[in-house]
């Protein structure tokens, strides 16, 4: 019954080692517990919204509330898809893809986090590849963007490895201090030139209206 109302629950993205999908309530609690155990070193601050500064229980609650909020405020013209990343059958983090006016702009922005116990295994790169396949090969995106603090070398290394190009710097305020972030942009042509990891997508047909998938080629000026 729920799949008929909310077919996004059937969406699956699979790569050689990973599966990305919406979680059950029990799996959501499990990935929240991953966040509670830590996402980065204590002295690091990789997110403009400093949710990882919260105590462990509040950090877990933030993950759950944000997941519910993304689903509850979804519209075809303004959406954010938060997929739990499963590695060896266990949740290890979240890969997000969001867009505004996707049917017109055909542009997505991605973001992600991985539990500290699962870092250093190439999972971050593989999960980004998986969601880029969904965006470019399945939804017809023409560009993908990502943003990282200039001292977040791991995140920027993933973007560069996948062919993203620098796309400007922005300045924000975090904890009363100016922080600089580097924007990156990947074109459809740049993505198609990369050596692709095998990725399969299932369950998308029933939910294309959720993404306002365009039927005409995007006009880029």
Mean pLDDT of the chain: 90
Q: How confident is the model at residue 104 (pLDDT cuts 50, 70, 90)?
A: very high
Sequence-distant (6+) residues with CB within 8 A of 175 are 45, 50
Would you tell me how many other CB atoms lie within 10 Å of the CB of residue 1?
5
Q: What is the pLDDT of residue 113?
A: 93
CA distance 17 to 19: 7
pLDDT (tens digit per residue) in 49-96: 777 788 999 999 999 999 999 999 999 999 999 999 999 999 999 999
pTM beyond cutoff 0.75:
yes
Q: What is the pLDDT of residue 67?
A: 96
Q: How confident is the model at residue 170 (pLDDT cuts 50, 70, 90)?
A: confident
Whole-angstrom distance between the N-terminal and C-terminal Cα of the chain? 43
Q: What is the pLDDT of residue 217?
A: 46
Of 18-27, 30-39, 67-76, give the lowest mean pLDDT range: 30-39
Kindly state the average pLDDT of the residues 189-194.
90
Nearest to 31 by CA among 47, 42, 19: 19
Query: Which residue stretches of the chain are H helix?
Result: 2-5, 25-37, 56-72, 102-105, 123-133, 153-161, 188-193
């Amino acid at each position: 019954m729920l799949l008929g109302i909310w077919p996004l629950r059937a969406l699956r993205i699979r790569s050689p080692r990973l599966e990305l999908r919406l979680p059950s309530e029990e799996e959501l609690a499990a990935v929240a517990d991953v966040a509670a155990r830590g996402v980065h070193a204590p002295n690091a601050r990789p997110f403009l919204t400093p949710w990882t500064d919260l105590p462990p229980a509040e950090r877990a609650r933030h993950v759950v509330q944000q997941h519910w909020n993304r689903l509850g405020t979804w519209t075809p013209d303004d959406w954010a898809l938060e997929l739990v990343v499963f590695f060896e059958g266990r949740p290890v983090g979240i890969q997000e893809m969001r867009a505004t006016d996707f049917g017109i702009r055909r542009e997505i922005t991605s973001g992600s986090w991985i539990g500290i116990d699962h870092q250093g295994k190439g999972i971050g790169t593989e999960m980004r590849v998986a969601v880029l396949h969904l965006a470019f090969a399945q939804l017809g995106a023409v560009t993908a963007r990502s943003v990282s603090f200039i001292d977040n070398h791991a995140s920027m290394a993933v973007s560069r490895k996948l062919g993203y190009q620098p796309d400007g710097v922005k300045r924000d305020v975090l904890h009363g201090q100016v922080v600089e972030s580097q924007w990156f942009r990947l074109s459809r042509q740049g993505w198609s030139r990369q050596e692709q990891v095998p990725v399969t997508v299932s369950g998308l047909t029933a939910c294309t209206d959720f993404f306002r998938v365009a039927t005409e080629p995007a006009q880029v000026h």
